[in-house]
Amino acid sequence: MKLRLWPRSLVGQLVFAVAVMLFVAQAINFVLLSRGLKQQTLAHGGGMAVARIIDAIERDRRGDFRRPPMDEEARERAQKLRISDTPPPLPAGAKRLPELASYVSGLLNDTEIGAESVDAWALPRREALRRTAFPERAVIVVAKVEGRYFAVRTRIAAGGNRLSGFLVWQTLSLYLLLLIPIMVIAYRAAAPLRDLTRAARGNPALRDTTPLEEEGPSDVRDLIAAFNAYRTRIATMLSDKDRMLGAVGHDLRTPLASLRVRVEGVDDDQLRDKMIASIDEMTAMLSDILALARSGAGTETQERIDLRALVGELAGDYREQGKDVSLGETAAAGVVFARPMLLRRALRNLVDNALAYGVRARLAVSTAEDAVRITVSDDGPGLTDAQIRTLIEPFARGEQSRNRATGGAGLGLSIAREIASGEGGTLTLRNRPGGGLDAVIALPLQM
Residue 334, number of CB atoms within 10 A of its CB: 22
Give the helix/strand (H/E) hosting 44: helix 10-62
Are 208 and 202 a contacting pair, CB within 8 Å?
Answer: yes
| Residue scoring higher pLDDT (245 or 382) | 382
Distances (CA, A) of 39 to 22, 53, 140, 243: 26, 20, 18, 85
202-298 has which fold?
Helix Hairpins (1.10.287)
Residue 304 CB contacts under 8 Å (≥ 6 apart), including other chains: 335, 336, 337, 446
- pLDDT, residue 75, reads 47
Are 296 and 418 a contacting pair, CB within 8 Å?
Answer: yes
Are 311 and 361 a contacting pair, CB within 8 Å?
Answer: no
Range with top average pLDDT, 24-38, 145-159, 334-348, 428-442: 428-442
Helices 269-293 and 412-422: angle between axes, nearest 10 degrees: 20
At 130, the amino acid letter reads R
Half-sphere exposure of 349 (CA within 13 A, CB side): 26
Residues 176-230 have pLDDT tens digits of: 888 888 888 888 778 888 888 888 877 666 666 678 888 878 888 888 899 888 8
Start-end of H helices in 202-268: 218-263
Give the helix/strand (H/E) hosting 58: helix 10-62
Range with top average pLDDT, 77-91, 281-295, 415-429: 415-429
What is d(CA 358, CA 176) in angstroms, rounded to the nearest whole number?
66
pLDDT confidence tier of residue 73, bands split at 50, 70 and 90? very low
What is d(CA 327, CA 313) in angstroms, rounded to the nearest whole number?
10
pLDDT at 102 over 70: yes
Residues 22-68 have pLDDT tens digits of: 888 888 888 887 777 777 777 777 777 778 887 777 777 776 655 55
What does the pLDDT average to over 264-289? 78
- pLDDT, residue 1, reads 44
What is d(CA 269, CA 5) in angstroms, rounded to the nearest whole number?
78
pLDDT confidence tier of residue 400, bands split at 50, 70 and 90? very low
pLDDT at 129 over 60: no
What is d(CA 365, CA 340) in angstroms, rounded to the nearest whole number?
16
What is d(CA 8, CA 22) in angstroms, rounded to the nearest whole number?
20
> Residue 192, SS3?
helix
Residues 420-429 have pLDDT tens digits of: 887 888 888 8
Between 3.40.50.150, 2.30.300.10, 3.30.565.10, 3.90.1150.180, what CATH number should domain 300-444 receive?
3.30.565.10
Note whether 202-298 and 300-444 share their fold.
no
Query: ∠ CA(105), CA(110), CA(114), 5° rounding?
Result: 60
pLDDT at 159 over 70: no
Average pLDDT, the chain: 76
Q: Which of 372, 366, 368, 365 is nearest to 424 (CA)?
A: 372
Range with top average pLDDT, 75-79, 256-260, 262-266, 372-376: 372-376
Among 26-40, 347-361, 432-446, the least confident range? 26-40
- pLDDT, residue 122, reads 81
Tell me the domain boundaries of the chain. Answer: 10-163, 202-298, 300-444
What does the pLDDT average to over 120-125? 78
| Residue scoring higher pLDDT (131 or 248) | 248
Are 49 and 80 a contacting pair, CB within 8 Å?
Answer: no
Residue 357 φ/ψ, nearest 5 degrees: -110, -15
Q: Give the whole-number percent of the chain exceeding pLDDT 70.
A: 78
- pLDDT, residue 216, reads 79
User: Which pairs from 110-119 meet CB under 8 Å and 24+ separation?
Assistant: 111/50, 111/54, 113/53, 113/54, 113/57, 113/145, 114/145, 115/143, 115/144, 115/145, 116/144, 116/145, 116/147, 117/143, 117/144, 118/142, 118/143, 118/144
pLDDT at 384 over 60: yes
Q: Annotate 327-386 with DSSP letters as a single string.
A: EEEE-TT-EEEE-HHHHHHHHHHHHHHHHHHHS-EEEEEEEETTEEEEEEEE-S----HH
Are 158 and 125 a contacting pair, CB within 8 Å?
Answer: yes
- pLDDT, residue 268, reads 81
Residue 332 CB contacts under 8 Å (≥ 6 apart), including other chains: 308
pLDDT at 406 over 50: no
- pLDDT, residue 363, reads 92
Query: ∠ CA(70), CA(72), CA(74), 5° rounding?
Result: 60
- pLDDT, residue 411, reads 67
What does the pLDDT average to over 13-25? 83
- pLDDT, residue 300, reads 62
- pLDDT, residue 42, reads 76
Distances (CA, A) of 121 to 76, 155, 158, 349: 21, 11, 13, 92
What does the pLDDT average to over 116-128? 71
Q: Which of 411, 418, 420 is nearest to 440 (CA)?
A: 420
- pLDDT, residue 72, reads 46
What does the pLDDT average to over 114-133? 65
